[in-house]
């Protein structure tokens, strides 16, 4: 009888590694398709972290929920850690779902860029759809095929959903109507004003990301993972990227451009659009405020949140330790949170 009980216990444990059963591990946006066994690996905390003898030359940093901090002292520490990492010869870079221009404005614009000697290059933007080299040149840009957009538009019109979607190119966003429902769900909606375009004019743009809410994308001609990549944002909206485009694909393209492997790049993030990059990079970190489903994909989980200088902690583990210098004391006042 004891033998039977032990077998049942071990079988149950094998199906609930990390407290998640197989059904729970396939939540929307969890991206198990990227690595079927990823839910079996438990991430490690940093208590036993050993600094590598040769830290990765590059280090990708997510913005929202990761780099940004509301607290002045925390923000100063993150920015100084970024600057000090560069002074030591390594290259931290932004890896975000945002556009390059809005990303730099968000972290403080020209004032911060000068202090940290970084102008947004290199960088991975729009969830991997736009990749910049260190000299500011666009390495690649991945856009939706016109036929995809036409089929999607017909679906939206047929179901009266044209007010439930936004279209993005490299720097701007567009809506088909004045009263867009997606903006009301976005945390930054109050400062985001889309341009109103007719669909025919939209087709002339390089549309590389879509954001929608309030419906299921049940288009018979489309198959997720083949025709598009879908992620669920923290605000409940859905982000669509062209087929095969993720932050991980952007990092991989960037590393290949420099003749390096993905072992030469670290990463830190918090969201569902970060999981492929966490899987890809040998040294990847999830901040403490990341959802548990996201943390499972990181190699290490920090004990600090974005509002406790998690980015500084990760960079110090890899390249530090650092100290905050006085010339960054007023940087936080420039940040548009």
pLDDT at 187: 54
**Tens-digit pLDDT profile for residues 159-168:** 999 999 999 9
**Residue 318, SS3?**
helix
The answer to whether residue 105 scores a pLDDT higher than 60 is yes
Contact status, residue 216 vs residue 146, Cβ threshold 8 Å: no
Q: Which helix (H) or strand (E) holds 278?
A: helix 275-280
Q: Phi, psi (5° rounding) for residue 301?
A: -115, 125
DSSP 116-135: HT-SS-SEEEGGGTEEE-TT
pLDDT at 324: 55
DSSP 133-167: -TTS-EEEE----HHHHHHHHHHHHHTT-GGGEEE
Q: How many CB atoms are located within 10 Å of the residue 64 CB?
A: 20
Identify the CATH number of the domain defined by range 146-242. Answer: 3.30.1240.10
Model confidence at 41, pLDDT cuts 50, 70, 90, reads: low
Which residues have C-beta within 8 Å of that of residue 157, sequence separation ≥ 6?
none
Computed over every residue of the chain, the mean pLDDT equals: 85
Which residues have C-beta within 8 Å of that of residue 140, sequence separation ≥ 6?
130, 131, 253
Which residues have C-beta within 8 Å of that of residue 50, sequence separation ≥ 6?
none
Within 13 Å of residue 235, how many CA atoms lie on the same side as its CB? Answer: 16
186 secondary structure, DSSP code = S
The answer to whether residue 16 scores a pLDDT higher than 80 is no
- Interhelix angle 310-319/72-87, rounded to 10 degrees, is 30
State the Cα–Cα distance between residues 12 and 111, nearest whole angstrom. Answer: 55
The answer to whether residue 189 scores a pLDDT higher than 60 is no
Contact status, residue 247 vs residue 265, Cβ threshold 8 Å: no
CA dihedral 76, 79, 84, 90 (to 10 degrees): 160
State the Cα–Cα distance between residues 85 and 58, nearest whole angstrom. Answer: 10
Model confidence at 12, pLDDT cuts 50, 70, 90, reads: very low
Which residues have C-beta within 8 Å of that of residue 270, sequence separation ≥ 6?
62, 64, 65, 66, 286, 287, 289, 290, 294, 306
Model confidence at 325, pLDDT cuts 50, 70, 90, reads: low
**pTM (2 d.p.):** 0.82
6 secondary structure, DSSP code = H
Average pLDDT rounded to a whole number, residues 205-211: 97
**Tens-digit pLDDT profile for residues 291-308:** 999 999 999 999 999 999
Residues of the chain within CATH 3.40.50.1000 domain(s) are 55-142+246-322
- Least Cα distance to 302 among 315, 285, 316 occurs for 285
pLDDT at 42: 58
Task: Look at the domain 55-142+246-322 and name its fold.
Answer: Rossmann fold (3.40.50)
Residues of the chain within CATH 3.30.1240.10 domain(s) are 146-242
pLDDT at 317: 96
């Amino acid at each position: 009888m004891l033998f039977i009980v032990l077998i049942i216990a071990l079988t149950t444990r094998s199906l609930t590694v990390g407290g998640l059963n197989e059904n729970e591990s396939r939540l929307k946006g969890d991206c198990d398709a990227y690595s079927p066994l990823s839910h079996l690996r438990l991430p490690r905390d940093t208590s036993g972290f050993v600094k590598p003898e040769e830290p990765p030359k590059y280090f990708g940093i997510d913005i929202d929920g990761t780099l940004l901090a509301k607290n002045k002292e925390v923000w100063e520490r993150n920015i100084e850690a970024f600057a000090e990492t560069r002074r030591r010869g390594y290259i931290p870079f932004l890896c975000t779902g945002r556009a390059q221009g809005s990303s730099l404005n968000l972290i403080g614009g020209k004032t911060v860029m000068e202090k940290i000697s970084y102008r947004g290059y290199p960088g991975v933007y729009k969830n991997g759809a736009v990749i910049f080299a260190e000299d500011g040149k666009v390495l690649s840009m991945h856009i939706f095929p016109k036929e995809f957009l036409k089929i999607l538009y017909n679906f939206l019109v047929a179901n009266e959903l044209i007010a439930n979607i936004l279209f993005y190119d490299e720097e701007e966003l567009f809506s088909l109507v004045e009263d867009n429902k997606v903006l009301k769900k976005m945390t930054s909606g109050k400062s985001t004003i889309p341009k109103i375009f007719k669909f025919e004019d939209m087709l002339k743009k390089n549309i590389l990301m879509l954001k929608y809410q309030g419906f299921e994308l049940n288009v018979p001609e489309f198959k997720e993972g083949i025709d598009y990549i879908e992620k669920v944002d923290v605000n409940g909206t859905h982000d669509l990227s062209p087929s095969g485009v993720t932050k991980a694909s952007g990092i991989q393209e960037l590393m290949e451009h420099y003749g390096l492997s993905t072992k030469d790049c670290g990463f830190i993030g918090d969201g569902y659009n970060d999981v492929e990059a966490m899987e890809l990079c040998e040294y990847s970190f999830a901040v403490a405020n990341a959802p548990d489903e996201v943390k499972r994909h990181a190699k290490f989980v920090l004990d600090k949140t974005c509002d406790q200088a998690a980015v500084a902690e990760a960079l110090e583990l890899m390249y530090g330790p650092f100290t905050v210098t006085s010339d960054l004391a007023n940087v936080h006042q420039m940040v548009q949170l």
